Structure 1
Amino acid sequence: MVAGPLYHKGWYHLFYQYNPDSAIWGNITWGHAVSKDLIHWFYLPLAMVPDQWYDINGCWTGSATLLPDGRIVMLYTGSTNDSVQVQNLAYPANLSDPLLLQWLKYPGNPVVVPPTGIEDEEFRDPTTAWLGPDGSWRIAVGTRFNTTIGTALVFQTTNFSDYELLDGVLHAVPGTGMWECVDFYPVAINGSVGLDTTALGPGIKHVLKASLDDTKVDHYAIGTYDMITDKWTPDNPEEDVGIGLKVDYGRYYASKTFFDQSKQRRILYGWVNETDSEADDLEKGWASIQTIPRSVLYDNKTGTHLLQWPVEEVESLRLNATVFKDVVVEAGSVVPLDIGTATQLDILAEFEIETLVSNSTEDEVSDCGDGAVDRSTYGPFGVLVIADDSLSELTPIYFRPLNTSDGSLETYFCADETRSSKAPDVTKRVYGGKIPVLDDENYNMRVLVDHSVVESFGEGGRTVITSRVYPTEAIYGAARLFLFNNASGVNVKATLKIWEMNSAFIRPFPFEETLFQEMVAST
């Protein structure tokens, strides 16, 4: 999956796709789409297809780099006719075309081949390039050593057609396996805006993210990049890439960021695959979606996390709002929220524990436990989304504060899919992770609900969970929303603002040229 920059007054997005009738990777092609607002999209014709020896087994993940002179270069992984993974160069055929309909492959491809000691089939997914202090561009490519050491290599170039492998590695973590879809970018430690990928200097940390092929989970860590040695060091080795923080604790993979120079923000896209059966995918004729685009910032309150938040454009889909203030949810209770149909919602919710229980000696299971049915002194509590009136189907999104040995609370933010659907052939899991809740903060969440997709953001986006659910009863007009509190010892007080949400449109090609011209004119 490749996310492109703001270009010719529109958002341009490339993504790879393959025929669901076959699992052969050689069927992968590059589709693309264009949008004015990251929400409504126009499909365009295929951008690239596997038709050369160096990509005949698939045009795979790559990254765009927008050069200072306005040119766009695209590096992508191709699988050769011998199944060797190589890096290739492509560029728009006509930069004056606002739709960038045609792409050209560099005649000298491949531009990078697996170095000595790297497995031919484990070398892929080049990053967006960044400019070093010496005037040369760098890219990172994911690989592994000795089958278990996840690694990012760094290559240097001045012209994007000739590359030199730099000594050592950007970073490597034993036991994490193959690193796919590596992402590497700067964040400002005392700022509220995103940074261009090339930004260097004081007041900047660097995020290194890898998608772990073994587990299909995206992990990240925050650290320091030495621009002289081209080495990256995590702030906390115990929370290193692949063994610590996750980008998203739910059904989410192969994410990629890019810099929006128009609004000075870094935007994250992620891929969500299905949890129902392959037969269902074939019947509907498609599989997998992408999340709502998210802005990414450094969390300067904790100094340890990123903050992910839906881009502001999603708020253009909001319709009527309903507010609930200071709703008391007693221990062990469920409270219905009368908002009508609840299949497409944007929910802002804040919770306060009414009374702390001092020196509780109750035995408590750490993490998310077995889901929202578990009971402990302080939780879980939260919302039940995509639920029917009888609660035969429901998806709880909740906080679970737990007592620790020093008397403090350790909190987990979780999503429980185990009762989300009566369908028998759907994967249903409990997802979640630890979330910092600071002394001056209440428990807060934002939840985006869209029929079968739930994106949940805890504490301003410190922990994020994407759920893919397939209700059979809680659908359309039968879907409802509830508050719940499964704590054994305390009441909670909730304040919510809930918007019904409109649908985004996705229009196929060919479309009326006037529609696109109107999009450009209004941007």
Structure 2
Amino acid sequence: MRYTRATADTFIQTNKQNLLTDYRLNYHLMSEFGWMNDPNGFVQYKGQYHLFYQHYPYKSVWGPMHWGHAVSRDLIAWEHMPVALAPDQAYDKDGCFSGSAIEKDGSLYLMYTGHIITGPDKDNDYIQKQNIAVSKDGVMFEKLADNPVIDNSQIPDGASQKDFRDPKVFERDGSYYVVLGSNDGKGNGQILLYRSSDLLHWTFVSVLAQSDGTLGDNWECPDLFVLGNRDVLLMSPQRVPAQGDNYKNLHSTTYMLGEFDALNGKFRYDACVPVDYGFDFYAPQTMQDDQGRRIMIGWMDMWETDMPTQQGHGWAGAMTLPRELVLQGDKVLFLPVKEVEGYRKNLYEMTDVALDGELLLDTEGDSYELLVRFYAGSSTEFGLKLRTGNEEETVLGYSVNDRLLTLNRDRSGIGPQGERRTSVDLADGKLTLRVFVDRCSVEVFIQGGEKVMTARIYPSKDSRGIQVYSQGASVIQSLQKWDIR
């Protein structure tokens, strides 16, 4: 098949009415039809937020990657635009892989990885090159005649000659830089740094950062930015061995708080911290908007896991709720963007409710926000049960003695099961959870954004109940629930 943007757009518009909608999300971005993974080119341009994404428009499975495209005024309601990129050139014929966006002289530049299969084993026989497409209106993009702008002859010795992808471009001190995901070919992920004066001609600077042997064999989707008075390196390491309750997924996302030395091309940091402690969060990208906020959005799925909507539903993959990053001391807080509050409807609330046992709330739903503050009291465990009914439930439980918050989806419906745990300290005996449920997703913001847990769930349509529970005496100091429409 010869892939073009026009062919993809025609196919989408012809087939999108055939989607099954039972698990389609209400306030998270999805593709109109087909497959979606990594967010790309997250940027604010001409008064709108633009988000591009890895997209195979023809089936609900991964295929030769295109760039889907959506725009928004408020980060919640998205309008789909024409497909931005299709794999239609020799340098990207097997996929327009992940990348980023930057504005220059009033035009929007997309920098992306062209994927080229070079032999019979598509999983091992490939090379990757970096390319640019430009638009004057943020909708129709033209690839440069001089692509690729960074080819594999510019890969330094000691770096993988295959895994060379996901450019994130930014400007610092009058120069353009790009960070690229890679590895050393010996089982250790690393980030490569390049510099340019014009976005077109690039020079290798250094290996910016690399694994010490404990953080995965390949690093993907790097992002380097300023937050407060610190530099942050965000990236997604592949196949990290589990470390206690952390890094339990096949692939992970972590951030490093440190200092970027642009002159010498080094990033000094002290520790790596997981970005999300749930099941389904990968390949995030950030941007700074005109309010000065650093906003992050990630892919709300995980490689090599069961995705029920692939079977006859016509779609797979979604984006997380956009999250604002706030520096507090030596850690980053993750907060849902404030714009979501504009979509709240039908407030339900209760205060100062003594709890010992289970209580079914006099409200229900499948797309809502829940803000609850527990006081542990003399309980040993307390928490929430979401999307209950038909012997289904998704459980958020806090063990007081173990100081562990658990997200369990063993009985969450037809999708993947399992449990994730993370350590959480009570604040004066209190736990605050802000939970966003949307048809087939749960996002849990813990203690004011100190941690987040994300999961896909696939319960029955009429499993809409909400319960609170406690083993021993606790108190619900306050609970507010809004439908999100």
Is the pair's TM-score, using the shorter chain for normalization, greater than 0.5? yes
1:378 is matched with which residue? 380
**Native 8 Å contact 2:41 2:110 kept in 1:** no
What TM-score do the two structures reach when normalised by structure 1?
0.76
- Structure 1 position 268 matched with structure 2 position 289: no
Deviation of 1:432 after TM superposition, in Å, equals 2.9
1:500 is matched with which residue? 482
1:57 is matched with which residue? 94
The Cα offsets for residues 210-231 of structure 1, whole Å up to 9 and x where unpaired, read as 1123222112222222333221
Pick one of 25, 44, 47 that aligns with 1:6: 44
Q: 1 CA distance for matches of 2:465 and 2:307?
A: 29
Distance verdict in 2 for CA 1:276–1:5, change over 3 Å: closer
Secondary structure of the residue aligned to 1:117 is coil
- Greater radius of gyration (CA): 1
- Structure 1 position 89 matched with structure 2 position 132: yes
Distance verdict in 2 for CA 1:65–1:172, change over 3 Å: farther
Higher strand proportion, which one? 2
Q: Kindly provide the amino acid, as one letter, of the partner of residue 269 in structure 1.
A: I
Q: How many residues align?
A: 425
The Cα offsets for residues 6-28 of structure 1, whole Å up to 9 and x where unpaired, read as 22222222112015648664x21
- Structure 1 position 78 matched with structure 2 position 104: no
Give 1:273-288 correspondences, 5 Å limit: 273=301, 277=306, 280-288=309-317
Secondary structure of the residue aligned to 2:421 is strand
Deviation of 1:112 after TM superposition, in Å, equals 1.2
Distance verdict in 2 for CA 1:39–1:278, change over 3 Å: closer
1:365 is matched with which residue? none
Distance verdict in 2 for CA 1:233–1:401, change over 3 Å: farther
- Structure 1 position 130 matched with structure 2 position 171: yes
| RMSD (Å) for aligned C-alpha atoms | 2.2
Give 1:244-323 correspondences, 5 Å limit: 244-261=273-290, 263-273=291-301, 277=306, 280-300=309-329, 303=330, 305-323=331-349
* Identity percentage of aligned residues: 26
**Native 8 Å contact 1:221 1:245 kept in 2:** no
1:219 is matched with which residue? 254
Secondary structure of the residue aligned to 2:467 is strand
Deviation of 1:167 after TM superposition, in Å, equals 3.4
1:521 is matched with which residue? none
Q: Kindly provide the amino acid, as one letter, of the partner of residue 174 in structure 1.
A: G
Q: 1 CA distance for matches of 2:346 and 2:440?
A: 21
**Native 8 Å contact 1:446 1:457 kept in 2:** yes
Q: 2 CA distance for matches of 1:17 and 1:169?
A: 29
The Cα offsets for residues 247-300 of structure 1, whole Å up to 9 and x where unpaired, read as 343211111111112x21011111122798567414010101111111111123
**Native 8 Å contact 1:249 1:463 kept in 2:** no
1:193 is matched with which residue? none
**Native 8 Å contact 1:250 1:465 kept in 2:** yes
Q: 2 CA distance for matches of 1:167 and 1:34?
A: 35
The Cα offsets for residues 407-430 of structure 1, whole Å up to 9 and x where unpaired, read as xxxx32321101112x3xx31011
Secondary structure of the residue aligned to 2:142 is strand
What TM-score do the two structures reach when normalised by structure 2?
0.82
Deviation of 1:66 after TM superposition, in Å, equals 2.7
Distance verdict in 2 for CA 1:502–1:77, change over 3 Å: same
- Structure 1 position 210 matched with structure 2 position 250: no
**Native 8 Å contact 2:219 2:235 kept in 1:** yes
Pick one of 188, 203, 217 that aligns with 1:177: 217
Structure 1: gaps spanning 5 or more residues = 189-203, 356-376, 404-410, 504-523
**Native 8 Å contact 2:169 2:178 kept in 1:** yes
Q: 1 CA distance for matches of 2:396 and 2:308?
A: 29
Q: 2 CA distance for matches of 1:245 and 1:398?
A: 20
1:350 is matched with which residue? 373
Distance verdict in 2 for CA 1:437–1:234, change over 3 Å: farther
Pick one of 410, 421, 432 that aligns with 1:418: 410
Give 1:11-160 correspondences, 5 Å limit: 11-19=49-57, 21=59, 25=63, 27-67=64-104, 69-80=105-116, 82=118, 83-92=126-135, 95=136, 97=137, 100-114=138-152, 115=155, 116-132=157-173, 135-160=174-199
